[in-house]
Structure 1
């Protein structure tokens, strides 16, 4: 009964993958233990995926693809399974983000998810209330790490992030985690397509005080704006709204420290930890 409830509550793509995996396994004449042995997994691990007790990892899918000679049928699900690791309200945005030619974000409370380390992301997600189940937490962490592929994607995407100084000073995860996070920001800033700026606390009044947002530009030159708060999101392509927020972003950018000054500032903060 518990397994049945788990299966019914699993996302549709997870349920479909489980059904296809079981069908291919049975057609090949393998038991769960036999397939697991071919994949270097246990039979219980195969059972967990087939009953939707656990969603398949990318590594599991690759191993099953090879063991069952699935002709790409299982591996083709990775893109859709990855998408379902994200909260429903975020799925539309992340699809657009991964295809964008330019992403410009302004972050006030925490560091942009594209630039987070795994330890920082885990500590941040642990602060959620009500808390996530351990398995769900790790899925969300992995999903956030998947987004980072955009940083090195070809064709290159232009990434620009403006971070409030307060977000850099908040020691999420403790001093060691934060030091590693700041070091990662410095490394990201060395990438030719990534620009990071800091909005200093000394600049008390500035154009970003109304809150965070992200401006995306797609390959067909469509601009859109994404805003998120308390598990709810807004994604707009209305020209008047996008135009207003794009102009606001441009003003915030002029008010923030320059890219070189910002890196020096982050280095100083890292040294103070």
Structure 2
């Protein structure tokens, strides 16, 4: 009797319905279900969290000029001129995508990743570049991803056009808006991650309070009160976590 009463009170909360929980449990279920069982009993919330996490990973992995700048510095700057317009040990990189436009983009990726491999296959553009540049062997980067290459290409393009950095004269038309747009775009994924962490923190806190309340009821504490949603949001630990995340994202990252 106590067991059924506790479960009915405990899992008719605000994160999943009582019917959702009951459908996932059998009569032989232990009093203290695993966290995985609890997650799966709240499928709607669980699915939302998974979708948000996947979206944040896509945003983090998406090509960007800033990532391209770092990759260029680490992998390309020793051989290619940083202004992209003049030759160094290697040729100038400005317009590289246009010069490969007659071929699939994946061919350019393969060239950057392993030029000798593409030359060995007899690729016409690869062979032409190899012969034009005195058969200099380009360093291979077998571990570099397509996203990293795309970021480098973005950086090459904007550097060649002079649109990468905040070089606009103060007060020039559109300068402030361009810089603001760039800043907001680069920080968007961080705010997304913050939102996801906040949702997870609330959800996990709900699990902890549910289990603590269940334990108190079983141990005979009939005066035990299950904290409501507002109690969780206004908990000092949760408020501290929110403040630290806000300080990192808004103050430190700016």
State the TM bucket, normalised to the shorter chain.
Answer: under 0.3
Instruction: Provide the TM-score with structure 1 as the length reference.
Output: 0.22
Kindly name which structure, 1 or 2, has the bigger radius of gyration based on alpha carbons: 2
| More helix per residue | 2
Instruction: Provide the TM-score with structure 2 as the length reference.
Output: 0.23
